[in-house]
Structure 1
Amino acid sequence: MKIVTAGIGLRAGHVLSTLRGVMPEADIVGYYDPQPTHLDMIGTDIPGYPSVEAMLSDTQPDLFLVGSPNKFHLEQIEAGLRAGVPRIFAEKPVVVSIEETMKLAELLSEFGQERVMVGLVLRYSQHMLDLRAAMDEGVLGPIASLEANEHIGPYHGAFFMRDWRRRSDLSGGFMLEKCCHDLDLYNMITDSRPETVASIGGRRSFLAEHAPVSNAESEIFHVKPSVWENVDDPFRSDGDIIDFQTAILGYESGASLAFHTNLMVPDEQRRFCVIGARGMAEGDFVRGYLRITRRDGSRYADHDYTSGARAAQGAHYGADAMMCADIAAFLREETDRLPVSVVDALEAGVAALALDEARRSGTVVDLTDIWTQFDAYGLRK
């Protein structure tokens, strides 16, 4: 199994090293990255290439990992498809605009969507495995409404404000870059896509007047290092992303979601509450629990993922290891499907981009025409 990568930052290095841990036959044979920062995670003796095209032509890989900054994903995925690479793994978000979404949809209709896998890792989590099992049994019934958040700590929020992700032209915006995971989950849970969206947000915490006044406090905002296109001061950067956003989504199924994200939350949360006609599920990825309750008040499940046999091990609440194990099984043809597809990822991305359009315009955005255009490529199963 020959693997190459475009981009060798922390995320790509982590995914590749985790995948190689569960797939000993995996051999990383090349990389493209003008500024590699984590070669030590995959091996400093791996040859570098001057371009993606040269790397793909020379190595003829079985798997091409696209782990570069979001702005470059589309062109690199297209290069992999046109070079005939059997499998491509693209980190989220797959693309950074509605225009790129349609371009990739066109490419997938031509070359086959099954060739592209995506890094929406939360679908692989034990939380979602257990929730899907309960939903398959009909415990919740039809989903009526949801509320959820992604609240990240100041150290992580500062990383976004210093890193290349602070610029929407490179990342696609914070809602797309960070919260596409969450939006994908709620598409999955409602078994539908957003039909209308509205959003309010802006910058209220990462402002110059709130900058730390002591060196000790300042250290908090430099815990997570950044290398490419980075700046030093998260409170006075040129970034255009928000540091808080509140969103409302109405789904094709009739369900609704209220979603809140904030980048300056000292006690982190990633909580969700799913309410159906016959029961509810409440959980938190950060705090490590999932409770499922029937409408008569009886408890269907009460999972603690912080200890015991179900304890989460490793990054993304244990989901990274689970994702790589599933990908290994898929590449070995031991299974014919994964829990998330590139089409799922594109649909979550459209939701994120529409929410930012709603925030900027101060209007309710109707997605009907976008879905009509997207569905014309025949990708939905």
Structure 2
Amino acid sequence: MNKIVICGLSNRALKMFIEPILKRFPNKNKIVALLDFDSRRYDQCLDMYPELANVPFYLPNQFTQMVKEAGITKVIVTSRDDTHVDYILQALALDLDVISEKPMVTTAEDACRVLEAEQNSKGRVTVAFNYRYSPHHLKIKELIQSGAIGRVTSVDLNWYVDTYHGSSYFKRWNRNRAFSGGLSIHKSTHHFDLVNWWVNQLPETVFAFGDLHYYGSASELNPSKKDGRHCGTCTEQQDCSYYRRWFGRGDSAVAKDDHLMAGQDVQAYSDYRPDSCIFDSEIEIEDTYAATIRYSGGTLLSYSINFSVPYEGYRLAFNGTKGRIETQEYHSPSRTPFPVAAQTIDYIPLFGSKQIIHVVENEGGHGGGDPLIQEDLFLGVDQTRPVEVLAGAEAGAYSIAVGEAVWKSVKEGKPITVQSLLQRDWEEQRSIT
């Protein structure tokens, strides 16, 4: 029986981890402690899951005491990104296994600390990269691993985040780089990990451009140069194109956000509201990136992401010495202002006919990946799967290092080597696990 503590009672914790533990995997897993700095989050957790009423609540400075009193065997970290490292290091020092929500940490320096701590611990770190588990992503991995397109020479990945979703990062704590590492880490760590895993090579060199175009006080969509506004109480709602797009004229609550649960009170937390104005001057992160990454096996990745697009999804292509793979996905079709087709994978041999692959889809969040990763996390890895999927600390570290290299390249205007950030022995590191 896994005796689990949830460190950080975020919405992600409530839906991605607590709910499946209680509803789907109670025979092998038991939540024996809850930890957060904000007792109001604990109250919210109990409102949603009253069966946890007898589970003790601890503050961050009580971690060691909690482990001893509750008999913890596994730590799940779902707190604000910059606090992940504290819980991971404390857990590893006590030889406990850790499941960390992505990103594992927010800096390459902290990633190195985790890797070193894991080497000296009986505990192991697992990073919840649920996008690996999307059935389409698994199929792409199988195709590449089978040699269907030969050696991968280049990858094109263009990610689009619509204003419903994209604006949420600028309303919440993510807007502060110290808390999130910026979106090249908080969000793009998903994407860099996917490519690292797909091509099974190490990222070596990164060159990138980036900027803040659509959010922040300088935005041409900003109704006025005022700070301290909140969507739910703003007097300029009808002058704000973002508010009008997602609300119309009849609603009177915080602008919609798929990181908030239905009916959630935006003032449910102490000293924090998740509906700050997306045009505040304190916003210090970028909303647009374009990057080129060179890999250890010679693969080149062309990557871009934009957080203010009319629809959400991505376009992806792999070129190899024996062929090409293409796919396109539209997320949240109900928010897409035009009809969209179901996602397929096009496999195009270098000499031969194109094959259109219809993948058996799975229900659940993140393209059907959430239920599958939950099974691996709480029941053990599915040994019948033809590819390795569950990610460890090394995979977490490299995804973060690429994201940090993107930001540093933007800032410094020069290529950044991943090795310089992770300070790892390059000759001993050959693949992502």
The answer to which of 58-67 and 286-295 deviates more is 286-295
Indicate which of 256, 268, 277 corresponds to 1:223: 256
Code of the residue aligned with 2:79 in structure 1: it is S
Q: Secondary structure of the equivalent of 1:71?
A: helix
Task: Give the CA RMSD over aligned residues.
Answer: 2.7
**Is 2:112 aligned against 1:102?**
yes
Q: Secondary structure of the equivalent of 2:326?
A: strand
Q: Secondary structure of the equivalent of 1:201?
A: strand
* Structure 1 pair 140–223 and aligned structure 2 pair: CA distance change class (3 A): same
* Structure 1 pair 60–30 and aligned structure 2 pair: CA distance change class (3 A): same
Code of the residue aligned with 2:115 in structure 1: it is A
TM-score, normalised relative to structure 1: 0.89
Cα deviations by residue, 1:354-377 (Å, 9 ceiling, x for unpaired): 111000001111334445536599
CA distance in 2, matches of 1:322, 1:332: 9
Q: Secondary structure of the equivalent of 2:209?
A: strand
**Is 2:377 aligned against 1:327?**
yes
1:288-307 alignment runs, 5 A limit: 288-303=343-358
1:1-381 alignment runs, 5 A limit: 1-16=2-17, 17-25=19-27, 26-35=29-38, 36=41, 38-39=44-45, 40-43=47-50, 44-45=52-53, 46-50=55-59, 51-85=62-96, 87-112=97-122, 115-208=124-217, 209-211=220-222, 213-214=239-240, 216-217=244-245, 219=247, 222-224=255-257, 225=260, 228=272, 230=274, 232-286=276-330, 288-303=343-358, 310-330=360-380, 338-370=389-421, 372-373=423-424
Unaligned runs of 5+ in 1: 305-309
* Structure 1 pair 127–82 and aligned structure 2 pair: CA distance change class (3 A): same
TM-score, normalised relative to structure 2: 0.79
CA distance in 2, matches of 1:298, 1:69: 48
* Structure 1 pair 133–345 and aligned structure 2 pair: CA distance change class (3 A): same
Contact 2:111 2:422 in 1 (8 A): no
Q: Secondary structure of the equivalent of 1:205?
A: coil
Once the two structures are TM-superposed, the CA of residue 351 in structure 1 deviates from its matched residue by 0.8
Once the two structures are TM-superposed, the CA of residue 216 in structure 1 deviates from its matched residue by 2.9
Code of the residue aligned with 1:279 in structure 2: it is G
Contact 1:327 1:338 in 2 (8 A): no
Contact 2:126 2:393 in 1 (8 A): yes
The answer to which of 199-208 and 88-97 deviates more is 199-208
* Structure 1 pair 374–285 and aligned structure 2 pair: CA distance change class (3 A): farther
Cα deviations by residue, 1:262-285 (Å, 9 ceiling, x for unpaired): 110111122211111111111234
Once the two structures are TM-superposed, the CA of residue 175 in structure 1 deviates from its matched residue by 0.7
Cα deviations by residue, 1:18-41 (Å, 9 ceiling, x for unpaired): 344331222212111122175144
The answer to which of 365-374 and 250-259 deviates more is 365-374
Contact 2:290 2:304 in 1 (8 A): yes
Contact 1:105 1:374 in 2 (8 A): no
Q: Secondary structure of the equivalent of 1:311?
A: coil
Instruction: Give aligned-pair identity as a percent.
Output: 23
Code of the residue aligned with 2:349 in structure 1: it is R
Once the two structures are TM-superposed, the CA of residue 300 in structure 1 deviates from its matched residue by 4.0
Cα deviations by residue, 1:162-197 (Å, 9 ceiling, x for unpaired): 111111101111110001111011112222122111
CA distance in 2, matches of 1:88, 1:331: 15
Code of the residue aligned with 1:156 in structure 2: it is H
Once the two structures are TM-superposed, the CA of residue 12 in structure 1 deviates from its matched residue by 1.1
Code of the residue aligned with 1:27 in structure 2: it is K
Q: Secondary structure of the equivalent of 2:210?
A: strand
CA distance in 2, matches of 1:5, 1:376: 37
Once the two structures are TM-superposed, the CA of residue 56 in structure 1 deviates from its matched residue by 1.6
Code of the residue aligned with 1:153 in structure 2: it is D
CA distance in 1, matches of 2:88, 2:427: 21
* Structure 1 pair 42–193 and aligned structure 2 pair: CA distance change class (3 A): farther
CA distance in 2, matches of 1:334, 1:277: 29
Once the two structures are TM-superposed, the CA of residue 152 in structure 1 deviates from its matched residue by 0.8
Contact 1:19 1:325 in 2 (8 A): no
Question: Greater CA radius of gyration, 1 or 2?
Answer: 2
Code of the residue aligned with 1:241 in structure 2: it is I
* Structure 1 pair 303–20 and aligned structure 2 pair: CA distance change class (3 A): farther
Q: Secondary structure of the equivalent of 1:210?
A: coil
